[in-house]
Amino acid sequence: MRYAQIVLPLNLKGSFTYKVPEELIPAIQPGMRVLVPFRGKKIYTGIVVELHDAEPESFVPREIISILDEFPILPKEQIDFWNWLSEYYLCNLGEIYRFAFPSSLKLESETYLKLKPNVTVDFENLDVNEMYLIQALEIRQLINLTDIEAFIPKKEIIKTINSLIDLQYIEIDEKISEKYKAKEIAYVKINEGLLNNQDLTEILSKLNKAPKQKDLFLHILDQQTENPTGFIKKSTLFEDGYFGNSHFKALVDKNLVEEYYLQKDRLESYEGETEDIEELSETQKQANKEIEEAFNHHKNVLLHGVTSSGKTHIYLEKIEECVNSGKNVLFLLPEISLTKQITQRLEKKYGKKLGFYHQKLTDFERVEVWRRIKNNDIQILIGTRNALFLPFQNIGLIVVDEEHDSAYKPREVSPYFNAKDAALVLAGFYGAKVILGSATPSVESYYLAQKNKLQYVSLNERFGKVKLPEYELINFKEAQESKKTSGNFSLRLLEEIKKTLEDKNQTMILHNRRGYANVVECESCGYVNYCSNCDVVMTYHKAANEMKCHYCGQRASKPKTCPKCHSENLNERGVGVEQIHEEVSKLFPDYEVDRMDVDSMRKKFAYEKLYEKIEEGETDIIVGTQMISKGLDFDHIELVGIPKADSLLYVQDFRAEERAYQLITQVSGRAGRVSGKGKVLIQTYNPDHSVFQLIKMNEVAKIYEYFLQERQKFHYPPFTKLIMIELKHRREDKVNRASQFLGSVLRKYLPEDCVLGPEKAQIAKLNNLYQFQILLKLPRGKNYEKFKNLVLISLNEFDNITAYQSIKKDVFVDF
DNA sequence: GACAGCTCCTGT
DNA sequence: CAGGAGCTGTCA
Residue A531 annotated as lining a ligand binding site = yes
Alpha-carbon span A479 to A485, nearest angstrom: 6
Closest CA to A671 of A510, A559, A537, A484: A510
Q: What residue type is A787 in one-letter code?
A: F
Spell out the residues 6+ positions from residue A715 whose beta carbon is closer than 8 angstroms to its own. Answer: A777
User: Can you give the distance from the CA of residue A39 to the C1' of nucleotide B5 in angstroms?
Assistant: 14
Radius of gyration of chain A (CA): 32
User: Can you give the distance from the CA of residue A120 to the C1' of nucleotide C2 in angstroms?
Assistant: 30
Cα torsion angle, A313, A314, A320, A323, sign: negative
Strand B positions closer than 7 A to protein CB: 1-4
Residue A522 annotated as lining a ligand binding site = yes
| C1'-nearest nucleotide to the CA of A94 | B1
Alpha-carbon span A671 to A188, nearest angstrom: 53
Q: What residue type is A427 in one-letter code?
A: A
Q: Any atom of strand C under 7 A from CB of A21?
A: no
Q: Any atom of strand B under 7 A from CB of A111?
A: yes
A46-81 pLDDT, tens digit each: 999 999 999 999 999 999 999 999 999 999 999 999
Q: What residue type is A586 in one-letter code?
A: K
Q: Report mean pLDDT in 10-residue bins for chain A, 815 residues.
A: 95 95 96 94 94 94 94 96 96 96 88 84 80 85 78 76 82 74 73 70 80 85 79 80 83 82 62 66 92 96 92 92 96 84 78 89 91 94 96 97 95 94 98 97 97 95 90 96 94 96 96 93 89 91 92 88 87 93 96 95 88 94 94 92 94 93 96 92 96 93 96 95 94 90 94 92 90 95 93 92 90 95
Q: Are A291 and A341 in contact (CB under 8 A)?
A: no
**Predicted local confidence at residue A644, as pLDDT:** 95
Residue A91 annotated as lining a ligand binding site = no
User: Can you give the distance from the CA of residue A732 to the C1' of nucleotide C7 in angstroms?
Assistant: 18
Alpha-carbon span A494 to A341, nearest angstrom: 33
User: Can you give the distance from the CA of residue A348 to the C1' of nucleotide B2 in angstroms?
Assistant: 49
Closest CA to A461 of A681, A696, A282, A333: A282
Residue A322 annotated as lining a ligand binding site = no
Burial of A196 (0-12, 13-18, 19+ CB in 10 A): exposed
| C1'-nearest nucleotide to the CA of A159 | C3
Q: Are A128 and A156 in contact (CB under 8 A)?
A: no
Q: Any atom of strand B under 7 A from CB of A10?
A: yes
Q: Any atom of strand C under 7 A from CB of A779?
A: no
Q: Which residues of A410-423 are buried (b: 16+ CB within 10 A; e: fewer)?
A: eeeebbbbbbbbbb
Q: Any atom of strand B under 7 A from CB of A144?
A: no
Alpha-carbon span A17 to A660, nearest angstrom: 50
Q: Any atom of strand C under 7 A from CB of A801?
A: no
Q: Any atom of strand B under 7 A from CB of A41?
A: no
Alpha-carbon span A81 to A68, nearest angstrom: 22
Alpha-carbon span A47 to A66, nearest angstrom: 12
Instruction: State CA A3 to chain mean position distance.
Output: 37
Strand C positions closer than 7 A to protein CB: 4, 6-12
**Predicted local confidence at residue A315, as pLDDT:** 94
User: Can you give the distance from the CA of residue A164 to the C1' of nucleotide C10 in angstroms?
Assistant: 28
| C1'-nearest nucleotide to the CA of A172 | B3
**Predicted local confidence at residue A594, as pLDDT:** 96
**Predicted local confidence at residue A271, as pLDDT:** 61
Spell out the residues 6+ positions from residue A392 whose beta carbon is closer than 8 angstroms to its own. Answer: A75, A77, A78, A328, A330, A373, A381, A430
A713-758 pLDDT, tens digit each: 999 999 999 999 999 998 888 899 899 999 999 999 999 999 998 9
Q: Any atom of strand B under 7 A from CB of A166?
A: no
Q: Give the global pTM.
A: 0.87
Spell out the residues 6+ positions from residue A531 whose beta carbon is closer than 8 angstroms to its own. Answer: A537, A538, A549, A551, A552, A554
